[in-house]
Amino acid sequence: MATIQRGLSTKVNDNGKSEIMLRLSLSKNDKIRIKSGIFVLASRFKDGAFIKPRANQQEIAELRDTEDRLISLERFLIGLSETHPIKELTKDFIAKEIDRWRNPEKYAPKEVKLKKLSFDDIIDEFLKQKQLSEPRERHYRVLQRALHRFELYQRLTEKKSYKFSLDTCTTEDIYAFEAFLRAEPELYDQYPNIYKSFPSITHKTHKVKKPKPRGDNYMVTFTKRFKALFHWCHAQGITMNNPFVKYVSSVYEKYGTPIYIKDEEVLQLADFDFSYNKHLDTQRDIFIFQCCIGCRVGDTMKMTPANVIRTL
């Protein structure tokens, strides 16, 4: 199997950065030095690894993006070496294939126009490849609908021709999207048609479709999903745009001090009469069951009779 070794060019460009060089080893006697086209400060790259600062969030984000692009290129090169015989893998051939990978539109037949995937198509493909659990997939569908609502809101308020696109999304768009999510409880009454087209809540058991206020923890988690989607699209070559490079969150996840109940309190709760409230009665049983087995909610909900081991 081919291996790749990272190095750094001694040449420095006008931005003070050096190009990362890759040595592709196909066999004992077949080694090719490849220009990655990816640049980094020498102080942030040592022995083939990226050195990230502790406090500068913007620089950390930029380095992560650079590292993601480098890893994506390395995976492409490994795949190329697995699908082509060594004699074909010349330096010129590899350089051309890298360019084809990065710029597929240049190599498309003139009579055939590449079909640009819509945002909904991209979400569908993302979920198809990721094979996420049902709850996590729903979270990305929530993101999908929220971005559609944001698009409609922009058209109604500021930019009549606004259309959300991964290729044109800016850091300012992300900040505006976050502000929109925060304001949705108030916007729901002002722009009801937006929520008729793309409801905030789609659960059939819910009667209230009005968005609830979003806290800092929700916003941080929501933005992480948005960022993960962009990173995947970047790695897949769907877009070279990454607005999160310059994005810096203004909030952070905060969690309170956990409170632990005693064994006698668990027993007291187990024996309490909740017959007046069927919902609480069921939730109590689930909670007590989890106390006994130590499973997370998600794992508990996936359990079937086959998971029960009977002992005599």
Domain end marker among 82, 107, 132? 107
What is the Cα gyration radius of the chain?
26
Distance of alpha carbon 101 from alpha carbon 29, whole angstroms: 26
DSSP code per residue over 146-189: HHHHHHHHHHHHT-TT----TTT--HHHHHHHHHHHHHHHHHHH
Same domain, 207 and 185: yes
Q: For 134-143, what is each residue's pLDDT tens digit? A: 888 999 999 9
Please give the pLDDT value at position 256.
77
Task: Name the domain count of the chain.
Answer: 3
| Six-digit token string for 109 | 């037949």
Same domain, 130 and 55: no
* pTM: predicted TM-score of the whole model, two decimal places: 0.52
Q: Is residue 142 part of a domain?
A: yes
Please choose, from the candidates 256, 178, 179, the residue with its C-alpha nearest in 3D space to the C-alpha of residue 224.
Answer: 178
Q: Is the pLDDT of residue 221 over 60?
A: yes
Q: Is residue 255 part of a domain?
A: no
The residue range of the domain holding 25 is: 3-107
Q: Is the pLDDT of residue 203 over 80?
A: no
Q: For 144-192, what is each residue's pLDDT tens digit? A: 999 999 999 999 998 888 999 999 999 999 999 999 999 999 999 999 8
